[in-house]
Amino acid sequence: METIRQITDKLKNAPSEELPVLVQAYADDVRAGVQVALQRARNRLAAEQAEDERLQRMLTFERQYAAYGPVCGIDEAGRGPLAGPVVAAAVILPEGTVIRGCNDSKQLSPKKRDELFDEIREKALSFGIGIVDNVRIDEINILQADYEAMREAVRQLDPQPAVLLNDAVTIPGLSMRQVNLVHGDARSLSIAAASILAKVTRDRLMEEMDEKYPGYGFAGHKGYGSAAHIEALRRLGPCPIHRRTFIGHFVNID
């Protein structure tokens, strides 16, 4: 007879597709430890079913526009910081792609974003990442820099998309159909995937900048206007990656 520990480990480590059969096989085992393990397994199945249903809802727009050709999700990271680049990502997912946990990057922990970053890159039919630095942001303003980064991300895609799913923007200078979705990173799996690629890429760049320009705390606040960042900016003055058009309220930039 299998021990409670053996059954518990089997249920815990079983692939999702095997779990229903195992739950049924041990359903009549009255030992309390087995019943606890079975309940955990049932909870896991319920959570995975709920997640799969959420993901299917997030593919609504991808399915709606699939007849036109490849559908791409676009999002950006870094419009608001006082320092560093703005980063945009564009992602085309193969039809029927499942990426459990994929969501608006702001809803995820850094560890989860890192895990999903690799999975998205592996599963994507194509992806592109556009980066526009702080000098260019100061030259053309953040909105135009944002559009420039998005156009660059789209340019890298192969195949080129027929439809763009955008998170609450319409990007000038692109000829393909654009669908503007408010809160798109929570409504479209492709946009959510793009938000993760953009966020992780930018965060890693800012961690590199922390080593290059120590003292500002870029690895922690990623260039955003935290109290610690503003204090360091006033104490040390701006460094080469600060956006001059963003920091005039805090330091003299003449």
The CATH code of the domain that includes 175 is 3.30.420.10
Would you state the pLDDT for residue 253?
Answer: 74
- State yes or no: cis peptide before 159, omega within 30 of 0: yes
Would you state the pLDDT for residue 119?
Answer: 97
**Are both 41 and 81 inside the same structural domain?**
no
Residue 9: inside a domain: yes
**Are both 16 and 79 inside the same structural domain?**
no
Write out pLDDT tens, residues 34-48: 999 999 999 999 998
Would you state the pLDDT for residue 116?
Answer: 97
Q: What are the structure tokens assigned to 252, written together?
A: 């003299």
Total domain count, the chain: 2
Would you state the pLDDT for residue 16?
Answer: 85
Would you state the pLDDT for residue 104?
Answer: 87
Would you state the pLDDT for residue 196?
Answer: 97
Q: What are the structure tokens assigned to 143, written together?
A: 């909105």
Question: Low-confidence residues of the chain, pLDDT below 70?
Answer: 254
Residue 208: inside a domain: no
**Are both 24 and 72 inside the same structural domain?**
no
Would you state the pLDDT for residue 254?
Answer: 66
Dihedral of the alpha carbons of 214, 215, 216, 219, in degrees to the nearest 10? 60
Would you state the pLDDT for residue 99?
Answer: 93
- Of 200, 224, 243, the last residue of a domain is 200
Would you state the pLDDT for residue 148?
Answer: 98
Q: Using CA atoms, how far apart are residues 42 and 50, in angstroms rounded to an integer?
A: 12
